[in-house]
Amino acid sequence: MAFTKINIAEQSFNPFELIGKQWMLISAGAEERWNTMTASWGGVGVIWGKPAATCYIRHSRYTKAFVDDSAYFTLTFLREGHRDALNLLGSKSGREMDKMHDSGLTPVFVDGQPAFEEAELVLVCRKRCCTEIPPEDILQQETLDKWYDDQDYHAMYIGEIVAAYQGGRA
């Protein structure tokens, strides 16, 4: 499958639908060793004068070490019909299995970064910032109670979108 490079600033999409309902894959690493995870928290916008994406990764996630050790990460949005793969990639750990291949998806590398052939959109992000979200900075107790009863907090990553690719239709 061929990806077409696009100008992300010229695209129109609903991030609430794309991220919050369709979900995305956060991937990082090199061809010889990488990992991915499903996420439904994130955003897109502008920061420091550049197009940017944010994503959030819990400390317990195997993918976090790959993002921490990489200068880049990708956000991959799959075409419809891959909910089972997204569920698997979000519930199983790459520590115990080769979930990227077991998912039924086809791994590819775009600009040297991991993604999947089944993508409708791939954002290649250069890591610009990583910050912890400590519990004392979460202002509502109900948020702590609902999302962090296990004390597995998130780190927030801001990535400059350095390239965007549209996937072909299957």
Write out pLDDT tens, residues 44-71: 999 999 999 999 999 999 999 999 999 9
Q: What percent of the chain has pLDDT over 90?
A: 91
Question: What does the domain layout of the chain look like in residue ranges?
Answer: 3-167
pLDDT band at residue 134, thresholds of 50, 70 and 90? very high
pLDDT band at residue 98, thresholds of 50, 70 and 90? confident
CATH code assigned to 3-167: 2.30.110.10
pLDDT band at residue 170, thresholds of 50, 70 and 90? low
Average pLDDT over residues 23-48: 96
Average pLDDT over residues 149-165: 97
Question: Cα–Cα distance between 10 and 129 in angstroms, integer?
Answer: 24
